[in-house]
Chain A
């Protein structure tokens, strides 16, 4: 197996009044898009900060790109977009980017060339002679534009490993799309991308592998397909043309057939009881007179798995998903 991008073994970190990460081990394969999933307060940001050597773990080992996490040569090979975003407000955009580049060992003409090309790519700069936001001050930019600038700042030095902490929070659909495209490009260039999120849809669409953590512990990890396949229970997506009748409700309440129902309004995600077969459920629904539009045996969504494994107790206020 090739050397992983990140290899975390038995890492612990506690603060004065609480344990942030409790014996966490995970491996991020090189060249993959890796999702670090978990509710707010699960320890995602702490884990990321330890990978970046911003804070030191209390115990355990962390290897990044084959080196110990505190190796000083690593800094220039990693790009980081923190969850809390901000820039020097009074500074000219181009100068901010040059500064961020310098901090990663990038300077001179090469830096200017890359800044221009990124500004164009994220439409912050028109054709020559057109509008150029690079010369504006940061606080003259809209929030969305500032986020783009910050994103450029974390990628300017062409890092081998990119770490994005909650990159989609606060992005409008257009910026989110630009971000997603960039992540896909990075993946094509065989860069490793790790991002934390609590929005399962994004993770499901973009990640090759995920790790779900809650309360500082790993709940499960692996390739997204495996995670979704490795399930003993089966899930059925059911769509009805008309509103549910009492007879249908009785079927769905039958615990020998149905373990749980997650009603998403247009479709229902139904988890079958351990011994029930999908055709038993279908037969029962048909005989109950249900007007079926869709009946499909599906792999459970990450969202579903997340809810199930983390449980309502592991989720704090503010948790948002696609449900």
Chain B
């Protein structure tokens, strides 16, 4: 036991003392904060950006729809109206007007041109061509502008008072959401969405970073040949266990520090946001129960063990950084494979894909916590997932210790799959 602690202590202290740990721990939350604030900042900036109004409207409707849209696009926000050029044409001469407008776009005089005709007034379609068609915010603004103006025009035509028509067309119903579970009310659905994503990303990052750390640690012992001295004093299985626990402890420490600092950052966010001219919106941290917290921890621990074992096994079979790059690919793919489905799981937390992936041992440590934070999951499924990842973790560490024991003292050529299989079976 003493020796296990000696190994754990060395692995833990040497890493926590390093510069990189300190830097990553401090800058982690700052980075997360930026990731959180930046979109809000960008969104608020793009609202004030009136470049979306810098377009040509080819109006073949015979109404004043073009002018209305122009007024909405530029006048609505910045008040200026000279940005949008409205060219009223006959339905027959749309084509020449379009070629002219195209030339203007290509000469970068305007961002694009919008064609409105009778089908637009009929509520069917309008066309936009321009250099900014991939800018989702711009397209959204144009689309909404066209829809609203067509609606208000039609309302007016049907004899409704223009003011009332305008009010109806510009009304904006904001649906706020609240999550209801068997336990009662639990904050807004959207916040859980963000929170779930954050939890999944944090678990993924920590498992990835510290799993690779285990790989590097094993490889270092092998490269520097220190392994042989250590292995003559401690059985391989104990050495590996000490390594996984020690490095996992570092990951856990970092996770706790990150969460703690993020919490503080969150508490002081209002003045920070105000500095950038953003008013803070009502945003409450989701409440997670003690049991959920314990479950999240259990998934982290088992998930880390599962991947750390695999990474350690890889580390024991390679002799250099280059070899490690190649050999770690299968393990990395398993991990990345779980994270690329995060969006699908978020969209449909109770779908077949989500349920399957939250039970397979390689994806459960990330997908199950994600599901648990966005939707209620039957306790049986949680238990099954935990059991699966626990069995997976112990199997992974067992196999790893077999490979580790032999691989640590093997130098030279990288072993093939068959050779590794023989190591596992070796007495």
Residue numbers of A with Cβ under 8 A of B are 16, 49, 52-56, 75, 78, 80-82, 84-91, 95, 99-100, 102-105, 107, 150, 153-154
Contact = CB atoms under 8 A, between A and B. Distances in A.
A154 B226 CA distance: 12
B16 to A, nearest CB: 13
Interface in B196-243: 220-221, 223-226, 228-234
Interface residues of B, number: 25
Interface stretch (B2-10, B112-120, B389-397): B2-10
11 contacts: A55-B409, A75-B233, A78-B232, A82-B225, A82-B228, A86-B224, A90-B18, A102-B2, A103-B230, A104-B233, A105-B2
Nearest to B13: A95
B2 A54 contact: no
Interface centre among B2, B6, B233, B419 (most CB of A within 10 A): B233
B224 A87 contact: yes
B422 interface: yes
Contacts of A100: 229, 233
B185 interface: no
B3 A88 contact: no
A49 B37 CA distance: 58
User: How would you classify the secondary structure of chain A's contact residues: helix, strand, loop or mixed?
Assistant: loop
A212 to B, nearest CB: 24
B14 A91 contact: yes
Contacts, number: 64
Contact of B229 (A49, A82, A89, A90): A82
A103 B234 contact: yes
B226 A88 contact: yes
B3 A54 contact: no
A103 B6 contact: yes
Given A54-B228, A103-B3, A105-B2, A88 B234 contact: no
Nearest to B233: A103
Contacts of B234: 75, 103
A95 B18 CA distance: 14
A52 B232 contact: yes
Contacts of B422: 16
Contacts of A102: 2-3, 6
Contact of A80 (B2, B223, B229, B419): B229
B183 interface: no
Contacts of A84: 225, 228, 411
B163 to A, nearest CB: 75
Nearest to A89: B224
B427 interface: yes
Contact of B14 (A78, A81, A90, A154): A90
A16 B416 CA distance: 13
Contact of B409 (A54, A56, A105): A54
Contacts of B411: 84
B226 A87 contact: yes
A17 to B, nearest CB: 10
B6 A154 contact: no
Contacts of B10: 95, 99
Contacts of B6: 99, 102-103
B108 to A, nearest CB: 55
Contact of B231 (A54, A56, A87): A54
Contacts of B18: 90
Nearest to B217: A88
Nearest to B239: A103
B229 A54 contact: no
A84 B229 CA distance: 9
B425 to A, nearest CB: 11
Contacts of A49: 409
B292 to A, nearest CB: 39
Contacts of A103: 3, 6-7, 230, 233-234
Interface centre among A52, A91, A102, A107 (most CB of B within 10 A): A102
B233 A86 contact: no
Contact of B225 (A54, A86, A105): A86
Contacts of B3: 102-103, 105
Given A54-B409, A90-B14, A91-B14, A85 B225 contact: yes
Contacts of B221: 88
Nearest to A138: B224
A95 B14 CA distance: 10
Interface in B1-42: 2-3, 6-7, 10, 14, 18
A313 to B, nearest CB: 24
Nearest to A154: B229
Nearest to A82: B228
A150 B229 contact: yes
Contacts of A91: 14
Contacts of B225: 82, 84-86
Given A54-B409, A82-B225, 9 more contacts: A55-B409, A86-B223, A86-B226, A88-B220, A88-B221, A88-B224, A100-B229, A107-B2, A150-B229
A90 B422 CA distance: 34
A12 B10 CA distance: 36
Contacts of B232: 52-54, 75, 78, 80, 82
Please give me the 7 A-B residue pairs with the lowest Cβ-Cβ distance, nearest first.
A86-B224, A86-B225, A102-B6, A103-B233, A84-B225, A82-B228, A52-B232
Interface centre among A16, A55, A103 (most CB of B within 10 A): A103
Interface centre among B225, B229, B231, B422 (most CB of A within 10 A): B229
Interface string B355-381: 000000000000000000000000000
A70 to B, nearest CB: 10
Nearest to A165: B228
Contacts of A87: 224, 226
Contacts of B409: 49, 54-55
Contacts of A56: 427
A89 B18 CA distance: 13
A86 B223 CA distance: 8
A90 B226 CA distance: 13
Contacts of B220: 88-89
Nearest to B221: A88
Contacts of B233: 75, 100, 103-104
Contacts of A150: 229
Nearest to B419: A16
A231 B216 CA distance: 55
Nearest to A105: B2
B424 to A, nearest CB: 13
Contacts of A104: 233
A100 B233 CA distance: 9
B250 to A, nearest CB: 15
